[in-house]
Amino acid sequence: DAKTTQPPSMDCAEGRAANLPCNHSTISGNEYVYWYRQIHSQGPQYIIHGLKNNETNEMASLIITEDRKSSTLILPHATLRDTAVYYCIVRPLGTSGSRLTFGEGTQLTVNP
Amino acid sequence: GAGVSQSPSNKVTEKGKDVELRCDPISGHTALYWYRQSLGQGLEFLIYFQGNSAPDKSGLPSDRFSAERTGGSVSTLTIQRTQQEDSAVYLCASSLRETQYFGPGTRLLVL
């Protein structure tokens, strides 16, 4: 899987948008960008994934640059419960059965 | 719908005892994974089940660890003769295709 680079930590004010960047400059054409998060003492939680188009669901939006070398996860109105470690992963299509590997991720702290 | 569930949520055991951890995957998901996560560490893959195929056991750290999946649904991870280094959070995930959905984990403490 392609390597990803994320800032180790970020802060965000409650109610504001949290924009979490991820660099994946070696991404291949058949690799998706996935985001998970892990709230302290809980299991990882799937957030969103995309291939090349921007994606939005009830949790977040994913903006992927045209060259696909970087992406941004957007939490539009961050709450205190969004405080977690956020992991950006790239994985090839058809990887059912392949193990997930998380890097260091970004510790997002949402402040009141 | 219901997510992945795991039981027990916490387990404290004495060194040398056997433990069984249970995972109920999302209904209809054909793939099931076990991982463990030590304090402050990343995910460590243990084992993967896909339908009726032979499981991928390549991540099991020793022969004290085993897992089974009955009827293509519920899975049990068994650790025999537990050691203190087995203390960790044991996570189960299931998937229908590429996206894996995790349970809340079982926190195992071996004294």
Write out pLDDT tens, residues B32-83.
999 999 887 888 999 999 988 889 999 999 999 999 998 879 999 999 999 9
- Computed over every residue of chain A, the mean pLDDT equals 92
Mean pLDDT over A53-65 rounds to 96
Report chain A residues whose CB lies below 8 A from the CB of B102. Answer: 43-46
Q: Report the percentage of chain B scoring pLDDT > 70.
A: 99
pLDDT, average across residues B89-110: 94
A32 inside 8 A of chain B by CB:
yes
pLDDT (0 to 100) of residue A66:
94
Please enumerate in sequence order all residues whose Cβ is within 8 A of that of A52, keeping only pairs 6 or more positions apart, or say none. Answer: A64, A68
Q: Output the pLDDT for position A100.
A: 83
pLDDT at A37: 96
Query: What is the radius of gyration, based on Cα positions, of chain A?
Result: 13
B7 contact A CB<8A: no
Q: How far apart are CA A27 and CA A70, in angstroms?
A: 9
Q: In what order do the strands lie in the sheet with A61-64?
A: A18-23, A70-75, A61-64, A55-56
Determine the pLDDT at residue B98: 82
Contact of B25 with chain A, judged by CB distance below 8 Å, is answered with no
Predicted confidence (pLDDT) at residue A21 exceeds the cutoff of 70: yes
Residue B1 scores a pLDDT above 60: no
pLDDT, residue A95, reads 61
Tell me the average pLDDT across A84-89: 95
On the question of pLDDT at A2 being above 70, the answer is no
For residues B46 and B80, give the distance between their C-alpha atoms in angstroms, rounded to a whole number. 15
Instruction: Give the ranges where chain B is alpha helix by DSSP (H).
Output: none
Instruction: Give every CB contact of residue B58 below 8 A, 6+ residues apart in sequence.
Output: B45
Give me the mean pLDDT over the B11-24 stretch: 97
C-alpha dihedral, A79 to B36 to B92 to A2, nearest 10°: 70
**B32/B49 Cα distance (integer angstroms):** 5
